[in-house]
Amino acid sequence: MVNLEWYRTFKEIYENGTLTKASIALYASQPGVSVHLNALEAYVGKKLFERTSRKMIPTEDGKFLYEYIIESLKKLEIAEQHFKKTTQEKNPSLNIGMCSEMFQLIIEPEIPKLDFDLVARFGAHTDLIKDLNNGILDLVITPKKQNEKKSLVEYIPFSKERIVLIAGNKTNVTKIQKHINSKNLGKLEEELLQNVWYSSSNEMEHFRRFWFENFNKKPAFKPNYILPNLTSIIRCLNNGSGLALVPDFLCQEQIFRNEINLVWEGKVKTENTLYFASRTDLKYKKELDTIKDIFTSKMKLLK
């Protein structure tokens, strides 16, 4: 009969790419990881990885096996988290998900003051909500509310973010401001297209939405620089040149210090409602309320 630990080991090798990293994730020895993999390959009668000097590359059989078992393993891991008995009272631990920019600005400075454990995860909002539904996360900060039947997730609005046009303070925005003041959107669009643009790979939806709501068309150009996140854009624009569309609360401090200029808030408000998405069966409500209070108070200060 196959040993469940063989499948756990196979999953970690597949996701981490090397025996060394898999052994660290499993808190096991590398020889022990190798033994489990060899046993599983002998059991299924197929080679699951191509061994190279740098990486374990899954074979087609390995890929098929991973896709076949991964959901079941995730369910078992969730069950283990919920039902594992302990001999001593554990420190409360909260698992939260949000964009990395919001974590760095809001939560990161407060971590040393917390009296409970915290695990933060970053990623696409749809993936984070999926983890919330599966019980892997306890709280997600999201601008997207999903209405799902028989869901244990509730959404509570707590703030808004507005997408605004900003420029590095070395950017010549004289003509841009002239067209904004005269409400000549055609000339404004032409002038905007003459500039260098920054955007983020995970926030292109903001970019396209702002453009459509203000110019009634999709943007017909690609930004010059597409960076990993919005804070990278803001750092690049600090005392520099170029344009970007970002949520207002992320750049308030730089605007106040005159490192970045607020150029335009748009002819209409391009806004997102921010929600606390949390499970109704959450165990650590007190700790959840602490995180919510931090967000609520800091977002008020940034407005």
Q: What is the DSSP string of 19-37?
A: HHHHHHHHT--HHHHHHHH
pLDDT of 178 > 90? The answer is yes
Q: Which of 29-33, 94-98, 272-276 has the lowest mean pLDDT?
A: 29-33
Amino acid letter, 203: E
Over residues 78-92, mean pLDDT? 64
Pick the CATH number of 4-82 from 1.10.238.10, 1.10.3720.10, 3.10.20.30, 1.10.10.10: 1.10.10.10
- What ranges do the domains of the chain cover? 4-82, 93-159+273-302, 161-271
Cβ burial of 158 (10 Å; 0-12, 13-18, 19+) is middle
Q: Which pLDDT score is estimated for 77?
A: 78
Report the alpha-carbon distance of residue 62 to residue 71 in Å, rounded: 15
Number of other residues whose CB lies within 10 A of the CB of residue 46: 14
Q: Is the dihedral of CA 216, 222, 228, 231 positive or negative?
A: negative
Question: Scanning the structure block, which residue is given the tokens 């020889």?
Answer: 31
Tell me: the pLDDT tens digits for 4-27? 889 989 999 999 999 888 888 888
Identical topology for domains 4-82 and 93-159+273-302? no
pLDDT of 167 > 90? The answer is yes
pLDDT of 148 > 50? The answer is yes
Question: Scanning the structure block, which residue is given the tokens 């988290």?
Answer: 81
Residues 142-151: b if buried by 16+ CB within 10 A, e if exposed: bbbebeeeee
Number of other residues whose CB lies within 10 A of the CB of residue 242: 19
pLDDT of 88 > 80? The answer is no
Tell me: the pLDDT tens digits for 180-205? 999 999 999 999 999 999 998 767 78
Amino acid letter, 205: E
**Residues 291/141, Cβ–Cβ less than 8 Å:** no
157: Cβ contacts below 8 Å, ≥ 6 apart? 273, 274, 275
Q: Which pLDDT score is estimated for 87?
A: 44
Report the alpha-carbon distance of residue 123 to residue 29 in Å, rounded: 30
**Residues 155/274, Cβ–Cβ less than 8 Å:** no
224: Cβ contacts below 8 Å, ≥ 6 apart? 196, 197, 198, 242
Q: What is the DSSP string of 196-247?
A: -EEEETT-HHHHHHHHHHHHSS---S--SEEESSHHHHHHHHTTS--EEEEE
Give the pair of three-digit tokens for residue 116. 């409970």
Give the pair of three-digit tokens for residue 66. 């991973």
Question: Scanning the structure block, which residue is given the tokens 């808190």?
Answer: 27
More confident residue, 99 or 77: 99
pLDDT band at 85 (very low <50, low <70, confident <90, very high): low
Cβ burial of 262 (10 Å; 0-12, 13-18, 19+) is middle
CATH class of residue range 161-271? alpha beta
246 to 77, 171, 295: CA distances (angstroms): 37, 17, 19
Which stretches of 84-156 are DSSP H helices?
Answer: 100-102, 125-133
What fold does the segment set 93-159+273-302 form as a domain?
D-Maltodextrin-Binding Protein; domain 2 (3.40.190)
* DSSP state letter for 139: E
Residue 257 φ then ψ, to 5°: -85, 5
pLDDT band at 281 (very low <50, low <70, confident <90, very high): confident
Over residues 260-264, mean pLDDT? 95
Question: Scanning the structure block, which residue is given the tokens 């005269």?
Answer: 182
H/E segment holding residue 11: helix 4-16
Over residues 113-121, mean pLDDT? 92
